[in-house]
Amino acid sequence: MQTILVTGGTGFIGSHTCVELIQAGYDVVILDNLSNSKESCVDRIKEITGVGVKFYKADLLDLESTKRIFDENKIDSVIHFAGLKAVGESVEKPLEYYENNIGGTINLIKAMRDANCKSIVFSSSATVYGVNNKVPYTEEMTTSATNPYGYTKVMIEQILNDMTVSDKDWSVVALRYFNPIGAHESGLIGENPNGIPNNLVPYIAQVALGKLEHLRVFGDDYETPDGTGVRDYIHVTDLAKGHLAALEYAAENKGFQPINLGTGNGSSVMEVVKAYEKACGKNIPVVVTPRRAGDIAESYAETSLAKKLLGWEAKLDISKMCEDSWNFTMKNPEGM
């Protein structure tokens, strides 16, 4: 049985991936500093799977603690989710983002190298396609960023790529996620945004709960079918399954490989609102406001590479994403 170290494993995408890993028969070790998640998530993972995971409350910025995990466990491969992810906050606190995301990743790579573990699946983002590429985004397009968060993803991809050049034994898969939403079907794990959410679906969920009055629709004058922004929303469970396929790919292939994880379909803000209204049986009041700075009209993936290399494709549609988000929100109105 293979043992996988999951950094950021108590977070939103990490926790769903741990569930899928356990259900597929992997042994899971979680490293998380709990800066954006709670230890109770470990119990929730056990409740869903019936299997316990080994949990280390540790910070990737602490190299010694990170190395100790590799000394105490025979880690076959790493899935690296740990990082800070709020775009706006990264503009306010660039140093914190560069230090945590890049510094943390460098420590992780050092610990892996010393333990001779050279297989890693990294959480990249569609944000690396920047603002100048045309949809659908394909993996060979040039990468760029418009904010410190995005730059950390561009730079970490570069660092990991450089590792594969310096040592041919490294296998790196950089998964470029589009817009992950939804929650586990059980309603036991899901997204836990701090304070007022910035992202669309967590915000709508709070409106549906009655905690926020209305959704602000950031612009209805984009060149899209209904004028509102279009994104490639992907169910977090589909995304989690993509990581298992990426692990298998990394076990067979050396080198650096970026791969999009999206559905290939775009939904507009108003389409998501309609789907959520149907899922929760309530009216979601909206107010159209000017565009949000930094937003683009459309973002969606070309998905053929994931199909070809991983044999993976997203299966769940926007209705299911909204139903599972609402189920989780109702069961956890104060978060997890």
Show which residues are catalytic.
149
Question: Least distance to ligand NAD from the beta carbon of 125, Å?
Answer: 4
Indicate the burial class of 144 (C-beta count within 10 angstroms; 0-12, 13-18, 19 or more): middle
Task: Provide the b/e sequence for 77-89 (b: ≥16 CB within 10 Å).
Answer: bbbbbbbbbbbeb
Told to check if 205 binds ligand UD1 by CB under 6 A, we report no
Q: How far, in Å, CA of 30 to CA of 8, rounded?
A: 7
With CB under 6 A as the contact rule, the residue among 23, 199, 304, 332 that binds ligand UD1 is 199
State the minimum distance, in angstroms, from the CB of residue 223 to ligand NAD.
24
Given candidates 82, 205, 240, 272, which one binds ligand NAD under the rule CB under 6 A? 82
Euclidean distance between CA atoms 102 and 95, whole angstroms: 10
Residue 119 DSSP label: E
The one of ligand NAD, ligand UD1, none whose footprint includes residue 269, by CB under 5 to 8 A per kind, is ligand UD1
- Please tell me whether residue 125 binds ligand UD1 under the rule CB under 6 A: yes
274 makes contact with ligand UD1 (CB under 6 A): no
Site residues for ligand UD1, 16-75, by CB under 6 A, read none
Q: Does 216 help bind ligand UD1 (rule: CB under 6 A)?
A: yes
Radius of gyration of the chain (CA): 19
Closest to ligand UD1 by CB, 285 vs 294, is 294
Encoded tokens for 248: 């298998």
Determine, following the binding rule CB under 6 A, whether residue 259 of this chain makes contact with ligand NAD. Answer: no
> Which string of b and e fits 280-315 if b means at least 16 CB within 10 Å?
beeebebeeeeeeeeebbbbbbebebbeebbebbbe
Footprint on this chain of ligand UD1 (rule: CB under 6 A): 87, 125, 127, 150, 179, 198-200, 203, 215-218, 229, 231, 269, 292, 294-295, 299
Footprint on this chain of ligand NAD (rule: CB under 6 A): 8, 10-14, 32-37, 59-61, 81-85, 100, 104, 123, 125, 177, 180
